[in-house]
Amino acid sequence: MEIYARHKHLLGESSFEKIENASVVVAGVGGLGTMVLNLLVRLGIGTIHFYDFAEIDPPDLNRQILYNSEDIGAPKTDAALKALKLINPNIQIIAHQEKITKNTKIPKVDLVFDCLDSFTSRYILDDLIYPNGIPLVHAGVSTYFGQLTVIIPGKTACFRDTISVDEFLFDQKIDKNIFPPIVTTMASLQVSEGIKYLSNDFDNLNYNKILVVDLLSNSFDTIELG
CATH of domain 8-224: 3.40.50.720
Residues whose CB is less than 8 angstroms from the CB of residue 109 and which lie 6 or more positions away in sequence, other chains included: 23, 24, 25, 47, 49, 134
In this structure, the strands spanning 145-151 and 219-224 are unpaired
- pLDDT tens readout for residues 131-181: 999 999 999 999 999 999 999 999 999 999 999 988 888 878 888 899 999
Name the percent of the chain lying above pLDDT 90. Answer: 93
Question: Does residue 74 have a pLDDT over 90?
Answer: yes
Where are the chain's structural domains? 8-224
- Position 1 scores a pLDDT of 56
Q: What is the pTM of this model?
A: 0.96
Per-residue pLDDT tens for 178-202? 999 999 999 999 999 999 999 999 9
Residue 168 burial (10 A CB sphere; 0-12, 13-18, 19+): exposed
Whether residue 66 contacts residue 81, with contact meaning beta carbons closer than 8 Å, is answered with: no
Query: For 20-64, what is each residue's pLDDT tens digit?
Result: 999 999 999 999 999 999 999 999 999 999 999 999 999 999 999
Q: What is the pLDDT of residues 89-142, one digit of tens each?
A: 999 999 999 999 999 999 999 999 999 999 999 999 999 999 999 999 999 999
Q: Is 147 helix (H, G, I), strand (E, B) or coil?
A: strand
